[in-house]
Amino acid sequence: MSEYQRSNTDWFHDAKWGVFMHYLADTASATAATGITADAWNRRIDQFDVQGLAGQLAEVKAGYFFITIGQNSGFYLAPNPTYDEMTGILPSKCARRDLISDLYDVLNPEGIKLMVYIPSGAPANDPAAMEKLGWQWGFKGKEWGKDRTGLRLVEFQLKWEAILRDWSLRWGKKVCGWWVDGCYFADEMYRFPDPPNYESFARALKAGNPDSIVAFNPGTLMPLVCHSEYEDFIAGEVDKAFPATFEFPGYLPLTRFVDGAQYHVLSFIGHWWGQSKPRFCDEFVIGFTKNTNAFGGVVSWDVAPTPEGRITQPAFQQLIALRDATR
């Protein structure tokens, strides 16, 4: 295997800020999808207005756009024969429409890069998928941080890498980046010299586009640091403790690169992931973005979608204000 090299993040740096969207069958990072069937999911994906969304992103002059492939429900935005074969779930919860490819077709002419989100584990609210893929939470205890057993989950990791490789090869250079959630158990699962490990994980994600950039999210940890030598930018997740990202002088140097990875912050415009009403005034969003850009960092702002996949109006108006102040 050839020596691993990080991908160039200059285009990401030059974009300065972009838009992130959780488009899920359930609520972001929370409850199970109730009452939704594969047919209902396909109808939702079929009505996703890619042209309308692309028009909004072009109007706010977004540098790039992130969208979730899926999360805990087990419903995904695009076909994946490898996932279907491994789980045996029928009818498939992977959408018939390849929404990622359709988004690329309308975003690329606008010069807007497309990036995707995927968890590091099988869908936690789909017991059948968890069993078939061999996924378990990172420890067997019932409480966070208790009774850790050091589960490496080799069988699961090999299957998950194959599933993600399938998507990566399907999309090729259409997808420019991956944001991988839930890498909470790095010491138990990924920090090993032999595969499966962070390197094999990154290679699977880059199978279709070696130039794509990757981040592994360890959760909302402060300060914002590089999590692995195999990530190209830091995940930078920040939730309600948002002011902590300003970092006290001397606590963490505010520079473009952190241990070789591009500095990046991801947080939400609303009061939680996928919520609409802004929690900050326009001046704060503008000021924080400018401050981060000033030392070479990048900011991603999560917005709430309508059922048709457009940005809700309150978030859209705040992005317009950000555009006017920064573009």
Task: Dump pLDDT digits (tens) for 209-239.
Answer: 999 999 999 988 878 889 999 999 999 999 8
Element (H, E) at 107: helix 99-107
Q: What is the pLDDT of residues 164-208, one digit of tens each?
A: 999 999 999 999 999 999 999 898 899 999 999 999 999 999 999
pTM score, whole prediction: 0.93
Report how far apart, in Å, the C-alpha atoms of 324 and of each of 195, 207, 290, 318 are.
Answer: 47, 38, 12, 10
| pLDDT score of 251 more than 60 | no
How far is residue 62's CA from residue 203's CA, in Å, rounded to a whole number? 28
Q: What are phi and psi of 223, to 5 degrees?
A: -75, 170
Q: What is the pLDDT of residues 283-323, one digit of tens each?
A: 999 999 999 999 999 999 999 999 999 999 999 999 999 99
Model confidence band, residue 150 (pLDDT cutoffs 50, 70, 90)? low
Q: What is the pLDDT of residues 109-134, one digit of tens each?
A: 999 999 999 999 999 899 999 999 99
- Give the pLDDT confidence score for residue 3 in this predicted structure: 87
| pLDDT score of 248 more than 50 | no
- Give the pLDDT confidence score for residue 292 in this predicted structure: 92
- Give the pLDDT confidence score for residue 286 in this predicted structure: 96
* CATH code at 10-326: 3.20.20.80
- Give the pLDDT confidence score for residue 1 in this predicted structure: 62
113 or 149: which leads in pLDDT: 113
Q: What is the pLDDT of residues 57-93, one digit of tens each?
A: 999 999 999 999 999 999 999 999 999 999 999 999 9
- Give the pLDDT confidence score for residue 221 in this predicted structure: 82
Element (H, E) at 68: strand 64-68
- Give the pLDDT confidence score for residue 151 in this predicted structure: 84
**Among the listed residues 197, 184, 215, 312, the one whose alpha carbon sits nearest the alpha carbon of residue 7:** 215
Using alpha carbons only, what angle is made at residue 30 by residues 81 and 313, rounded to the nearest 5 degrees? 90
- 301 Rama sector, left if φ>0, alpha if ψ -120 to 50, beta otherwise: beta
| pLDDT score of 140 more than 90 | no
Q: What is the pLDDT of residues 13-58, one digit of tens each?
A: 999 999 999 999 987 765 666 678 999 999 999 999 999 999 999 9
